[in-house]
Amino acid sequence: MRLTALLLAALCLLPVPALSQEAARIVEENRDQIEKPSRQTIGPVIAELAGSGDAMADDILSAWADKRLVIRKSDDAMFVAVPEGDGFALTALDGTPSGTAAKGDLTELKPNAGVRGLIETALVQFTLSDPDPSRRAEALTSIARDPTAEALEPLRASLVTEQDPTLKAQKERLERFLTLRFDPDPAARIAAIESLGADISLDTRAALNPLVTTTRVAAVGEAEGNIARELTVGRDLTEIEAYDLLVAAGLAPARLTLEEQRAALVANIVNGTVGGIPVAELDRQEARDRAYTALEVGGTVPTAATDDEVAAALAAHRFFDVYAEPDATVTLAATQALESIDRKVAAMQAADLGLDALSLAAIYFLAAIGLAITFGVMGVINMAHGEFITIGAYTGFVVQLFVPDYTLSILIALPLAFAVTFGAGVAMERLVIRHLYKRPLETLLATFGISIALQQILKNVFGTQARPLTAPGWLDGALEFNDVVSISYIRIAIFVLALIFLAFFLYLMKRTRLGLEVRAVTQNPAMAASMGINPDRINMLTFGLGSGIAGIAGVAIGLYAKVTSEMGADYIVQSFMTVVVGGVGNVWGTLAGATMIGSLQKVIEFLNPSNTLAAQTYMILFIILFIQFRPRGIIALRGRAAGD
Average of pLDDT values for 231-245? 88
Q: Specify the length of the chain in residues.
A: 644
Average of pLDDT values for 137-165? 82
Per-residue pLDDT reduced to its tens digit, 300-337: 877 777 778 888 888 888 999 999 888 999 999 989 88
Q: What are the domain boundaries of the chain?
A: 22-119, 128-212, 214-323, 346-568
Average of pLDDT values for 127-141? 81
Q: Any residues with CB less than 8 A from the CB of 480 and at least 6 apart, and which?
A: 486
106 versus 636: which is more confidently predicted?
Answer: 106
539: helix, coil or strand? helix
Average pLDDT score over the chain: 81
Q: Give the single-character DSSP code of 438.
A: T
Other residues' Cβ atoms within 10 Å of the Cβ of residue 543: 26
Evaluate if residue 20 carries a pLDDT over 70: no
Evaluate if residue 17 carries a pLDDT over 50: no
Question: Given its phi and psi angles, is residue 275 left (phi above 0), alpha (psi -120 to 50 degrees) or beta?
Answer: left
Per-residue pLDDT reduced to its tens digit, 340-374: 888 888 888 888 888 888 888 888 888 888 887 77
CA 442 to chain centre: 50
Per-residue pLDDT reduced to its tens digit, 482-525: 777 888 888 888 888 888 888 888 888 788 888 888 778 777 77
Q: Which contacts (CB < 8 Å, 24+ apart) does range 401-408 have?
A: 406/470, 406/471, 406/472, 406/473, 407/472, 407/474
Evaluate if residue 254 carries a pLDDT over 70: yes
State which of 72-81, 417-426, 538-547, 612-621 shows the largest mean pLDDT.
417-426
226: helix, coil or strand? coil
Evaluate if residue 2 carries a pLDDT over 50: no
What span, in angstroms and rounded, lies between the C-alpha atoms of 511 and 506? Answer: 8
Other residues' Cβ atoms within 10 Å of the Cβ of residue 189: 23
Q: Any residues with CB less than 8 A from the CB of 514 and at least 6 apart, and which?
A: 508, 538, 541
DSSP line for 474-508: GG-SEEESSSS-EEEHHHHHHHHHHHHHHHHHHHH
Q: Are 50 and 88 in contact (CB under 8 A)?
A: no
Per-residue pLDDT reduced to its tens digit, 373-409: 777 667 778 888 889 999 999 999 999 999 888 889 9
Burial 456-488 (b: 16+ CB within 10 A, else e): eebeeebeeeebebbbbeebeeeeeebebbebb
